[in-house]
Amino acid sequence: MKPIEKMEKTREGAIGQTTGGKQDVRMRIAVGMATCGIAAGAKQVMDAFNEELKRRNINDVKTVLVGCRGACRLEPLVEITGENGEMVTYVNMTPEKVARVVAEHVVNGRICIDYTVGTEVE
C-alpha cells in the first residue's frame, strides 16, 4: 500500500480516537501529563482511574495521557469527553476524588460539579 493511501486509512481509522466516538469506546478520560501535571501528581491520578475502571470491570472507557492545557495551577487536570463530544474539566484532582468521579460521572452520568473547573476560575 502506498504511504499516502495508508495515511488515508489511518486517518479514517483514527476518527473517533480522541472524541470517544468509536463504537467500543463511549468515554475518553484524558489526564494532563506534561511536566506540570506529573509534578502535581497526575501519575497517581492516572493509576487511580485505571484501577477503579478495572475494579468495576468497565471496558468501554479509555484513559489517555495528554499534554498541558496551559492552566498548570489547576493540575492534575482531567478532561472527560462523552459520546456526544461534550467535555467536562476536573481540576486539582487527587486519587481520592477519582473514585467519586468514576462512580458518579463515568457510571451514572452525573457530573461532579464541585470538582469541575468552574469552581476554580472566575
Partner 1 sequence: MQIYRSHVLICNDSTCAQLDSGKIMEEFGAQLKKNKLENEVKVLTAGCPGMCEQGPVVVVYPEGTVYTMVKPENVKEIVEEHLLKRKIVKRLLHKDMMEEGDTPAKALDDTKYFKKQLRIALRNCGIINPEDINEYIEHDGYKALEKVLTGMTPLEVIDTVKKSGLRGRGGGGFPTGLKWEFAYKSQDDEKYVCCNADEGDPGAFMDRSILEGDPHSIIEAMTIAGYAIGSKQGFIYVRAEYPIAVKRLDIAIQQAKEHGFLGENVLNTGFSFDIELRLGAGAFVCGEETALMTSIEGKRGEPRPRPPFPAVKGLWQKPTLLNNVETYANIPVIILKGPEWFASIGTEKSKGTKVFAIGGKINNTGLIEIPMGTTLREVIFDIGGGIPNGKKFKAAQTGGPSGGCIPASHMDTPIEYDTLVQLGSMMGSGGLIVMDEDTCMVDIAKFFLEFTVDESCGKCPPCRIGTKRMLEILEKITSGKGTEEDIEKLEILANNIKLSALCGLGQTAPNPVLSTLRYFRDEYEAHVKEKKCPAGVCKSMIHYVINEALCKSCGICARNCPVNCISGQRGEPYVIAQEKCIKCGTCMVKCPFKAIFKNV
- Separation of alpha carbons 13 and 33, rounded Å: 25
Q: Which of 26, 19, 32 is nearest to 91 (CA)?
A: 32
- Is residue 89 near partner 1 by the rule CB under 8 A? yes
- Is residue 100 near partner 1 by the rule CB under 8 A? no
Q: 74 vs 98, which CB is nearer to partner 1?
A: 74
Total residues interacting with partner 1, rule: CB under 8 A: 42
Q: Which of 7, 74, 62 is nearest to 34 (CA)?
A: 74
Task: For residue 121, give the 3-state DSSP assignment.
Answer: coil
- Is residue 79 near partner 1 by the rule CB under 8 A? yes
- N-terminal to C-terminal alpha carbon distance within the chain: 52
Interface region with partner 1, contact rule CB under 8 A, candidates 32-40, 42-50, 52-60, 96-104: 32-40
**How big is the CA angle at 19 (ends 92 and 21), to the nearest 5 degrees?**
135
List the one residue from 72, 99, 103, 107 that touches partner 1 (CB under 8 A). Answer: 72
Q: Where on the chain is the footprint of partner 1 (CB under 8 A)?
A: 2-4, 6-7, 10-11, 13-18, 30, 32, 34-35, 38, 64-73, 77, 79, 86-89, 111, 113, 116-119, 121-122
